[in-house]
Structure 1
Amino acid sequence: MFATTQSVAQSFYSVYNDNKPELLDEILAETYVGHVNGHDIVGATAAKGFIVGFLNAFPDAHYTVEDMIESGDRVVTRWVCTGTHKGAFFGMEPTDKQVTMIGITIFQVVDGKIAQLWNNWDVFGLMNQLKA
């Protein structure tokens, strides 16, 4: 169990930065629901599949948390992610381009695990970088 909701959020970014999706087993509730740009990802297993797919597309993904605000059972982060497009993503074949993504994520942490996540990021900006 983690000491603070902030440390759980930080561990979530370690999944990407250290390319260790197995850490999700420790930090996602079984009943996890992720709300990602208007699409729901229900269950820890589905979330892990989505994240593994992202890491296959951007194996060197690195998140830098620019701001982190905690209130009760919620943590809000504003982040920048960089990576190299090495695998298929959203139907787009690898381009080998370096990209930068920006976004905001809200975590709800219950009993030391992420119960819900709301993630909004600039998909349009990413797609423009990949097509350019």
Structure 2
Amino acid sequence: MKTEEEKFVYDFWMQVWDRQLLTKIPNFIAPNFIIHSAGKDVLGIDAFSKWVANFQSKIGELRFIVHDIFSSEAKVVSRWQITGQNKGFMNTDKNLRPVDLSGITISVVREGKIVEKWIERSAWELYHRLES
């Protein structure tokens, strides 16, 4: 049985990432939201929306798959995978090679909104596959 927080984060993944409904971001993200990804912090809904749009624009036919999701208190851990075609991801050539990126995200949910996320992903490995 999934907790309310797990269901909420799963819905976020499906609506914002898999269906790419960026207008839904404010339904899930707190105004003071912060995401920590690849040594960079993205602050607030507007900056996050731009970050997601840029990311998604670099992967054609993007599919987002949640393999595992579980929680401890207000932290929800997701193990996920993105597949698609390379349209310049990580400043590589737009060669339409297959994209297969996996990651783990920890999301903090408070008062019905995601307030913070930490992401670790297989970007280094993907970069080398796209460049070779």
TM-score, scaled to structure 1: 0.90
Note the C-alpha offset of 1:112: 0.9
Residue aligning to 1:93: 93
Give unpaired runs (5+ residues) of structure 2: none
Cα separation, 2, equivalents of 1:59 and 1:32:
27
**After superposition, what is the alpha-carbon deviation per residue over 1:67-114, rounded to whole angstroms, capped at 9, x for unaligned?**
11111111001112111112x333223111111011100000111111
Equivalent residue, structure 2, for 1:112: 112
Secondary structure, aligned partner of 1:124: helix
CA distance in structure 1 between the partners assigned to 2:100 and 2:80 by the alignment: 10
Percent identity over paired residues: 25
Coordinate RMSD, CA, aligned:
1.4
After superposition, what is the alpha-carbon deviation per residue over 1:112-131, rounded to whole angstroms, capped at 9, x for unaligned? Answer: 11100000101111101211
Q: Do 1:75 and 1:107's aligned partners in 2 also have CA atoms closer than 8 Å?
A: yes
Contact 2:64 2:80 in 1 (8 A): yes
Q: Which amino acid aligns with 1:107?
A: S
Given that 1:13 and 1:63 are in contact with CA atoms closer than 8 Å, whether structure 2 keeps it comes out as yes
Going from structure 1 to structure 2, the CA distance change for 1:59 and 1:24 (only over 3 Å counts) comes to farther
Q: Please tell me the residue identity of whatever aligns with 2:70.
A: I
Cα pair 2:76 2:107 within 8 Å, conserved: yes
Look up the equivalent residue of 1:122 and give its one-letter code: S
Partner of 2:73: 72
Q: Which residue of 1 aligns with 2:31?
A: 30
For the residue of structure 2 that corresponds to 1:127, the secondary structure is helix
Corresponding residue pairs, total = 129
